[in-house]
Amino acid sequence: MTDNPAARPPLFDLARLTRPSPWWWLPAGALLGAVTGGTYGLLRPPEFTATSSVVVVPNGATDADRTDALGFAQAYGRVATQLAVLGDAQVWAGVPVSTLRKSVDVATSPDAPMIAVSATSSSPGQAVDIANAVSRALLTQADHTKDDTGIKLERLSRALTPTEPSSASAALTALVGASAGGLLGGLALLARPRRGADGDDPGRASVPGPAGAADAHGTLG
């Protein structure tokens, strides 16, 4: 068999050495996500949350016990975001019902007959007004039926003006963006087209060179 030096693979594949590594997608994705997340955190207006709490207690006219109070707390928690309550709250809060629906969040506890009414707004003062207005409307709603249910609501704490925003800071949004960007970069790395061992595309056909053809002719002869 003829030894053709031209057919030997080069000792150093310059094209492979200068080819950029696909792993750069990971830091690039993380950097892009961090910049995007940080920019979003800086440009988005801060939001403030205020919370007002009410407690369910027996009215005294009936033999309602603690179990009944817990059950009515869950029921009034679901009623707090309905039109019957929000319709009265919009008068005291000075905002439409649609704004109340988007900003109000109600939470109850399975262990205590308490209802927490939270309101979120870009204005600290408006968040306080909305939380107190909804809890006041809920107290009024429960007062209309206390003789039939044997349960009444009492205000446990009024909403106070928040001093710090409840929305995520720019540093946190940047961290979340970096994590998401790194994850997307990793997925892109896994989904990239694979190359053969010699760096060529796997579907490309290989054509024998002149040396290989000469060897084959000598063998047959």
For 190, the token pair is 């896994």
Higher local confidence (pLDDT), 146 or 96: 96
Helices in the chain by DSSP H: which ranges? Answer: 14-18, 25-43, 66-79, 83-93, 97-103, 124-144, 146-149, 170-191, 210-220
Lowest mean pLDDT among 39-43, 71-75, 123-127: 39-43
In-domain check, residue 10: no
In-domain check, residue 171: no
- The boundaries of the domain holding residue 141 are 48-157
How confident is the model over 40-67, as pLDDT tens digits? 666 677 889 999 999 998 876 555 566 6
Locus of tokens 């939470």: 107
In-domain check, residue 193: no
In-domain check, residue 32: no
CA quadruple 11, 17, 18, 19: dihedral sign: positive
Q: Does pTM top 0.85 for this prediction? A: no
In-domain check, residue 183: no
In-domain check, residue 76: yes
Locus of tokens 């309550």: 85
HSE of 67 in the Cβ direction (CA atoms, 13 Å)?
Answer: 1
Asked whether the beta carbons of 30 and 185 are under 8 A apart, the reply is: yes
In residues, how long is the chain?
A: 221
In-domain check, residue 136: yes
Q: Total structural domains in the chain?
A: 1
Asked whether the beta carbons of 53 and 114 are under 8 A apart, the reply is: yes
Q: Indicate whether 196 pLDDT > 70.
A: no
In-domain check, residue 7: no
Q: Indicate whether 187 pLDDT > 80.
A: no
How confident is the model over 138-172, as pLDDT tens digits? 999 888 888 888 888 999 999 998 888 765 566 66
CATH of the domain at 92: 3.30.70.1130
| pLDDT in the model for residue 108 | 92
Q: Indicate whether 29 pLDDT > 60.
A: yes
How confident is the model over 175-184, as pLDDT tens digits? 777 777 777 7
